[in-house]
């Protein structure tokens, strides 16, 4: 029996390299070699504008501006490291501790049925920001993959980014083993 194919043509940007354009330095700014996430972290903008949920000693948590679902966040080292092998022991430990805390907070705040946790290592793995390692934590609900996303090519975000940021930030543990 042949395998049916559902063409996901919107993913062609990863093949053609168009997704890489988001990593470029904005017009008028000097390319100082920092990654997009390093620039966001060091921008001086308030966390409610950058959607940074938590700042740790070596890593931080940020909402994805291009989410798969409401509450989609990412855990990243502060340094622009592109692979797990580039992390030192403190970064590695804090990264995975923050993933654990992120999943716990997502389950509590978003009341999701499950959470996908994953990393795209390298551009061919599907990551549009392959120069800065980031762990995706994506809340999932039974039935959330419906016709809108599969057939319509559209995603329905029931909760605005700012509201999700506020709810996650308010529920983030006040004290934990990773605070600076």
Q: pLDDT tens for residues 63-92?
A: 998 888 889 999 999 999 999 999 999 999
User: Which residue in 54, 72, 134, 136 is the catalytic one?
Assistant: 134
- Domains, the chain, in order of start with CATH, read 31-171 (3.30.428.10)
CA distance 114 to 102: 13
pLDDT of residue 22: 41
CA distance 2 to 178: 51
CA distance 41 to 19: 21
Q: Which pair of tokens denotes residue 145? A: 């993959």
Please say if the pLDDT value at position 1 is more than 70. Answer: no
Please say if the pLDDT value at position 100 is more than 90. Answer: yes
Q: What is the mean pLDDT of residues 138-143?
A: 89
Average pLDDT taken over every residue of the chain = 81
Q: Which of 171, 8, 9 is nearest to 102 (CA)?
A: 171
pLDDT of residue 60: 97
DSSP helix/strand/coil, 127 = coil
DSSP helix/strand/coil, 59 = strand
Please say if the pLDDT value at position 59 is more than 80. Answer: yes
Q: Render the burial of 105-116: b for 16+ CB within 10 Å, e for the rest.
A: bbeebbebeebe
Please say if the pLDDT value at position 158 is more than 90. Answer: no
Q: Fill in the DSSP letter of residue 113.
A: S
Phi, psi of 60 (to 5 degrees): -145, 165
Please indicate whether residue 54 is annotated as part of the active site. Answer: no
Phi, psi of 99 (to 5 degrees): -65, -45
Helices (H), ranges, the chain: 12-16, 36-41, 47-50, 89-110, 147-150, 161-171
């Amino acid at each position: 029996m042949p395998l049916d194919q559902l063409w996901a043509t919107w993913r062609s940007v990863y093949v053609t390299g168009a997704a890489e354009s988001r990593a470029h330095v904005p017009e008028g700014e000097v390319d100082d070699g920092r990654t997009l996430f390093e620039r966001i972290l060091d921008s001086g903008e308030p966390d409610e504008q950058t959607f940074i949920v938590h700042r740790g000693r070596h890593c931080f948590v940020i909402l994805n501006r291009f989410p798969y679902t409401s509450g989609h966040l990412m855990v990243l080292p502060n340094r622009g490291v592109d692979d797990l092998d580039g992390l030192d022991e403190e970064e590695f430990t804090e990264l995975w501790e923050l993933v654990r805390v992120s999943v716990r907070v997502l389950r509590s705040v978003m009341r999701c049925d499950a959470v996908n946790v994953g990393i795209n290592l390298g551009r061919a793995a599907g990551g549009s920001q392959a120069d800065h390692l980031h762990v995706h934590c994506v809340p999932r609900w039974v039935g959330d993959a419906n016709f809108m996303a599969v057939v319509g090519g559209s995603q329905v975000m029931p909760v605005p980014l700012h509201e999700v940021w506020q709810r996650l930030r308010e529920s983030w543990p006040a004290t934990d083993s990773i605070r600076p």
